[in-house]
Amino acid sequence: MRIPTLAIVGVGLMGGSIALAARRRGIATRILGVDQQTNALKQARQQGILDDVSTHLQDVATAADVILFCTPVDSIAAGVLEAAAHCRPGTLLSDVGSTKAAILRDVQGRLPKGIEFIGSHPLSGSEKHGLAHANAQLLEGRLVLVTPGQDTSDDALSRIRDLWLALGAQVRVMEAEEHDRAVALTSHLPHLLSSALAGILPPELRDLTATGFRDSTRLAAGHPDLWSAIFRANAANLLAALDRFEEQIQQFRQALLAEDAAALDRLLRQGKKIREELA
């Protein structure tokens, strides 16, 4: 596949990595970038990652065949609507946000004829952020969840699928609501737990942490603004995942109070079995 002009909105870890992969794999003739940070734009231009850059979304919207929004989840829908007003018919818009239903709801039915938006979520994050950490392999072999809306055409779905495949990723198509419920448990809950655990470590115990604590809290180093937006966009599902988690904690608590070795063994074996099936 070859896209004449690919635009990346938000040139950070994910946007930069996609641009790098697109360049390396020859997926786009021109790659344009939009960001509010002129430093990132300048750097991406100098490194040859982007062919042209702008701080104005509409500058690239008019020129692009595909636009990927790699901005925080609470700014994607507004960006999509703004860009769509300036796009040529046939332009395909997508994103990489970690929540999907709210964006789809805000965008659905509000796009000009011939312009489509379809949600995407590459499962390949990092607690790091910014263009400095971008790498062309970030998507390789990773799964991208694609969430069409009720009006999504077969053509748009197949174009976005081909783009992610060409970038080295795998694709699974899901409904946006199902996506949000799933990642509440697989991604947003681990982030919340990691942050809460890191948050309660008193200063005098910091020297006593080993690799276990560090691995368990790696996610806590993620960007607070990005994660605050994700948590708010998916609050109901995240609270439901937290409820499920706290039922399990409650079982541990009862087993500890009762000094119930068999119950503790059963709970620990359950976690070990599932964890080892992931490895």
Q: Which of positions 183-212 make contact with its own copies (CB under 8 A)? A: 183, 185-187, 189-202, 205-212
The residue type found at 140 is: E
Measured from the CB of residue 14, what is the shortest distance to its own copies in angstroms?
13
CB of 7 or CB of 220, closer to its own copies: 220
Measured from the CB of residue 214, what is the shortest distance to its own copies in angstroms?
6
β-bridge partners, 52: 32
Token pair listed for 166: 């060409």
- From the list 30, 73, 75, the residue with the least C-alpha distance to 57 is 75
Identify residues 66-125 at the interface with its own copies (CB under 8 A).
123-125
* Spatial distance between the Cα atoms of 219 and 63, rounded to a whole number of angstroms: 37
CB of 52 or CB of 177, closer to its own copies: 177
CA angle 259/261/266 to nearest 5° reads: 130
Segment near its own copies (CB under 8 A); pick from 38-46, 83-91, 112-120, 236-244: 236-244
Q: Does 171 bind its own copies (CB under 8 A)?
A: no
CA atoms within 13 A on the CB side of 20: 21
Identify residues 237-256 at the interface with its own copies (CB under 8 A).
238-239, 242, 244-249, 252-253, 256
Q: Does 219 bind its own copies (CB under 8 A)?
A: yes
Segment near its own copies (CB under 8 A); pick from 13-21, 52-60, 149-157, 221-229: 221-229
Q: Other CB atoms closer than 10 Å to residue 108's CB: what's the count?
A: 15
Identify residues 138-157 at the interface with its own copies (CB under 8 A).
142-143, 145
CA distances from 15 to 44, 215, 250 (A): 11, 26, 41
CB of 90 or CB of 271, closer to its own copies: 271
Q: Does 215 bind its own copies (CB under 8 A)?
A: yes
- From the list 79, 160, 155, 85, the residue with the least C-alpha distance to 118 is 160
Measured from the CB of residue 173, what is the shortest distance to its own copies in angstroms?
13
Q: Does 168 bind its own copies (CB under 8 A)?
A: no
* Spatial distance between the Cα atoms of 234 and 191, rounded to a whole number of angstroms: 13
Residue count, binding to its own copies (CB under 8 A): 81
CA 236 from chain centre, in angstroms, equals 18
* Spatial distance between the Cα atoms of 182 and 71, rounded to a whole number of angstroms: 21
CB of 60 or CB of 189, closer to its own copies: 189
Q: Does 222 bind its own copies (CB under 8 A)?
A: yes
